[in-house]
Every structure is written in structure tokens, then in C-alpha cells.
Amino acid sequence: MPSQIDHEDSELLQAFEQGELKSIASKSELAKFKAAARATALKDRRVNIRLSSGDLSDIQVKALEEGIPYQTLIASVLHKYVTGRLTERPTSSS
């Protein structure tokens, strides 16, 4: 189920559509982002995994909330893990 666009999102979308938003990234940053996007988008291997029904259902719910296919969400999480951008939440000690 798609989420509703709130007032702030609506203003941002309108500004984007009217060309009012400007990138603040440098040319070298843009090149780095493009290279990372290409590397991330290149999917040349297939992997089969087994998941518990509960985990798969939870992943599918999260993917729906994000508006992306669940396979894409799984691939994104794995990519973030192997690149060191996925961190554990600190646990509170009781």
C-alpha cells in the first residue's frame, strides 16, 4: 500500500518538478556516486537461499513499506553489510 505524501514531501516534489532544486555534489562526488550505482546495479550472479517463513514475511512487509521488491531489499541489505555500511543497534543493558 503506497504511503500518503505529506505536506513537506509535496512541497519537495513540486520544487523538484519545477527545477528549483540544485545539486550540491561536486563533480568528483557525482562520479563516485555513479560508479557505486553501476557496481550496485550490476547483478550477474544468482543465489538461492532458504529463509524461515516468518523472516520472509517480515522482509516482504518491510519491502512494501519501502515501495521496492523484496528481492531488491535483500540485495540492498547484503550489499550494505559487505561494504560495512550496515551496523548493529546498540543493545541496552538492563
At 38 the three-state DSSP class reads helix
Rounded Cα distance, 15 and 9, in Å: 10
pLDDT higher than 70, residue 93: no
pLDDT higher than 70, residue 5: no
Q: How does pLDDT run across 13-70, given as a tens digit for each residue? A: 888 889 888 878 888 888 888 877 777 677 778 899 999 999 999 999 999 998 888 9
HSE-CB of 89 using CA atoms within 13 angstroms: 3
Please answer whether residues 30 and 23 qualify as being in contact, where contact means their C-beta atoms are separated by less than 8 angstroms: yes
Rounded Cα distance, 33 and 25, in Å: 10
∠ Cα 41 43 44 (to 5°): 145
pLDDT higher than 60, residue 94: no
Which CATH architecture does the domain made up of 43-85 adopt? Orthogonal Bundle (1.10)
pLDDT band at 4 (very low <50, low <70, confident <90, very high): low
User: Domain boundaries in the chain?
Assistant: 7-41, 43-85
pLDDT band at 2 (very low <50, low <70, confident <90, very high): very low
